[in-house]
């Protein structure tokens, strides 16, 4: 403790400084530097988020948060959501307010309104938000008893807030925030005043059930975003437009890769070109897994209810499963591949000398998803998981996890993805003992730390049967996608009584590791389509070369080229249409074909091809064999 009327404040760099009793974090920020004082949004006091104006009354560790910090951005955008709610209430006085959190890259607020919002309403709301921001209204925090909070929101006529308060314990202190004449129920913290918010943009309106349940009323959800600089907002809006241009559903139709039909909502149809792309990914997957000592298997799509009860899926995953009856018995369509691998392992007795056994499966699974969350290939009701299940000795766990991490790293680097790792721990609906969960979680953590890999911990987000490491890929637009997963499982071997004969001649329990690399083939194709904007590297492109005769007299030479390329395994298309060459080039570029070979009189005479690349343009003339060698090397090395 500092001297009387003084408190000791420890900063993130470890330095300590004394301040007067009651000093607020904002004063500390200004003392560190005027710029930090201007950019400060909130604080962390002894690890807990706090308003900048909170009087500090004891020694503490203090971190000042700005927009550069993830938590700082959340405070900034949550504050903007309050400003949006204030603007909506001003323009639509009868509105009922629900909730308005910060989300990735923005915020939303849910409203109960008599009439749905229309685009013209968003423009009015955004204009009113700018007026509130210009007024620079302070965010003022007040703490009330539960009874006082109920009385306040009853007077305000806000039924959803009343419902939230009634769910809280009797003795809890409830915080509210005011800015101007607007009051909201909120834990906080918030920025000091509305004037700290600069560039705001409302994006769209969607429907959302109250508390996420379709049994409740459908509310109007307004999405928005905000940034401290207009240039940052402009950059983000550009990325949004670029994301629309790259939408895999749009490109999937334009490039004739896949479709979703009314007759099968959530069940993708792959067209011939889409199958080429898919098969190339699967062939690569098979080749790499063979190198790593995996054996490919295939297990049935439908298995008995008794097996799903034994695995725990019946109790923990039943709402996501499809069911059928066969010979009066209950069966389920598999939502996961792991029980099938377990049954293959259990089919015969194994020796410790055989372990690890690595089984890999491109297994089709079905999961019941609500229609409102379906999204092309990204969220479907059936998809193929590139699962593998490794059965191993306890002494092999660390090496096997390390091997999987290295394999996933090789896969993602090939496609140009950066990634970050997250470790997810035991969820509430888990099975297995505390001891087993601790053992599994420690094993994953130790493998990550042995590799020197940074990771984030997601408490309570593991699978019901074990903790997991997730790989979150970053695409060319900076968006993240969860793909690869490594799950360590001591529970399933116990539930299915899996054993091996040890060196001592006795039966022992193996450890099981579940993992995917692509995650889902369908979803990975969707991610790749958006990552490359449909311009797949040559080794993946459904059509790798388009031959273009300039006139009808060049058609025979074009056919010779087509035949030569085809014989070398190059996917080729011959555009013999009676169209101008510039039109053919534009069409091929729209189809994202990597190479165009233009042939006319000179090329036919000299046995050459005029090469164009879809993004680099004219590559000049070269002998056909030279072009073939160049392209085959590009395909072999999987260059992009």
Tell me how far apart the terminal alpha carbons of the chain are, to the nearest angstrom.
60
The residues that are catalytic are 338, 367, 385, 387, 389, 468, 514
What six digits make up the tokens of 212? 């996420």
**In contact, 341 and 297? CB cutoff 8 Å:** yes
Q: Which residues contact 581 (CB under 8 A, 6 or more apart)?
A: 548, 550, 598
What is the maximum alpha-carbon separation in the chain?
Answer: 99
Pairing mode of beta strands 418-424, 468-474 = antiparallel
**In contact, 360 and 388? CB cutoff 8 Å:** yes
Closest CA to 629 of 606, 611, 615: 611
**In contact, 596 and 548? CB cutoff 8 Å:** yes
Question: Could you give the residue ranges of the DSSP H alpha helices within 246-396?
Answer: 248-254, 272-291, 305-311, 313-316, 338-346
What six digits make up the tokens of 312? 């725990």
CA distances from 619 to 312, 560, 610, 627, 632 (A): 59, 21, 7, 10, 17
Instruction: Look at the alpha carbons of 140, 145, 149, 151 in this order and tell me if their dihedral is positive or negative.
Output: negative
CB atoms within 10 A of CB 208: 18
Phi, psi torsion values for 454, nearest 5 degrees: -70, 150
CB atoms within 10 A of CB 280: 19
C-alpha span between 142 and 175 (Å, rounded): 6
**In contact, 152 and 165? CB cutoff 8 Å:** no
């Amino acid at each position: 403790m500092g001297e009387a009327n003084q408190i000791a404040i420890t900063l993130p760099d470890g330095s300590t400084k004394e301040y007067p009793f009651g000093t607020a974090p904002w004063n500390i920020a200004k003392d560190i530097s005027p710029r930090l004082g201007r950019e400060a949004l909130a604080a962390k006091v002894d690890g807990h988020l706090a308003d900048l104006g909170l009087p500090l009354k004891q020694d503490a560790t203090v971190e000042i948060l700005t927009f550069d910090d993830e938590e700082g951005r959340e405070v900034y955008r949550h504050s903007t959501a309050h400003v949006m709610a204030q603007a909506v209430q001003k323009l639509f006085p009868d509105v009922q307010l629900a909730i308005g959190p910060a989300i990735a890259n923005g915020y939303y607020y849910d409203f109960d309104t008599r009439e749905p919002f229309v685009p013209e309403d968003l423009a009015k709301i955004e204009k009113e938000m700018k007026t509130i921001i210009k007024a620079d209204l302070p965010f003022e925090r007040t703490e009330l008893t539960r009874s006082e909070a109920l009385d306040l929101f009853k007077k305000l006529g806000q039924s959803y807030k009343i419902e939230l308060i009634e769910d809280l314990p009797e003795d809890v202190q409830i915080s509210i925030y005011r800015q101007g004449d607007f009051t909201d129920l909120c834990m906080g913290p918030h920025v000091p005043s509305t004037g700290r918010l600069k560039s705001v943009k409302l994006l769209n309106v969607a429907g959302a059930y109250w508390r996420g349940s379709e049994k409740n009323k459908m509310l109007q959800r307004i999405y928005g975003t905000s940034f401290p600089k207009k240039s940052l907002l402009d950059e983000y809006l550009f990325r949004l437009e670029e994301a629309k241009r790259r939408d895999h559903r749009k490109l999937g139709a334009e490039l004739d890769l896949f479709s979703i039909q009314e007759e099968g909502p959530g069940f993708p149809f792959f067209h011939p070109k889409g199958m080429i792309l898919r098969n190339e990914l699967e062939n690569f997957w098979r080749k790499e897994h063979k190198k790593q000592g995996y054996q490919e298997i295939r297990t049935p799509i439908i298995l008995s209810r008794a097996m799903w009860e034994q695995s725990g899926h019946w109790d923990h995953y039943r709402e996501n499963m499809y069911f059928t009856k066969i010979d009066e018995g209950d069966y389920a369509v598999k939502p996961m591949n792991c029980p099938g691998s377990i049954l293959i392992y259990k089919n015969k007795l194994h020796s410790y000398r055989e372990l690890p056994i690595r089984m890999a499966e491109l297994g089709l699974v079905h999961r019941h998803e609500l229609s409102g969350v379906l999204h092309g290939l990204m969220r479907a009701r059936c998809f193929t998981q590139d699962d593998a299940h490794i059965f191993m000795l306890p002494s092999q766990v660390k090496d096997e996890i390390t091997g999987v991490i290295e394999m996933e790293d090789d896969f993602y680097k090939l496609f140009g993805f950066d990634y970050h790792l997250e470790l997810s721990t035991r969820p509430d609906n888990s099975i297995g003992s505390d001891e087993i969960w601790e053992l599994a979680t420690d094993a994953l953590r130790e493998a990550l730390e042995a590799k020197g890999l940074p990771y984030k911990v997601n408490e309570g987000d593991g699978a019901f049967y074990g903790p997991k490491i997730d790989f979150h890929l970053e695409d060319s637009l900076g968006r993240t996608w969860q793909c690869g997963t490594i799950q360590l499982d001591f529970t399933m071997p116990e539930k299915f009584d899996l054993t091996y004969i040890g060196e001592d001649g006795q039966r022992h329990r193996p450890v099981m590791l579940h993992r995917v690399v692509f995650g889902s083939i369908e979803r990975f194709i969707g991610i790749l389509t958006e990552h490359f904007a449909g311009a797949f590297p040559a080794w993946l492109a459904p059509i790798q070369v388009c031959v273009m005769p300039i006139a009808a007299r060049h058609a025979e030479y074009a056919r010779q080229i087509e035949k030569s390329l085809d014989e070398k395994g190059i996917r080729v298309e011959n555009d013999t249409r009676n169209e101008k060459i510039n039109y053919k080039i534009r069409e091929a570029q729209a189809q994202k074909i990597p190479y165009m070979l233009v042939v006319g009189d000179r090329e036919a005479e000299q046995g050459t091809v005029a090469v164009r690349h879809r993004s680099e343009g004219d590559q000049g003339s070269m002998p056909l064999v030279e072009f073939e060698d160049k392209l085959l090397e590009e395909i072999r090395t999987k260059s992009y």
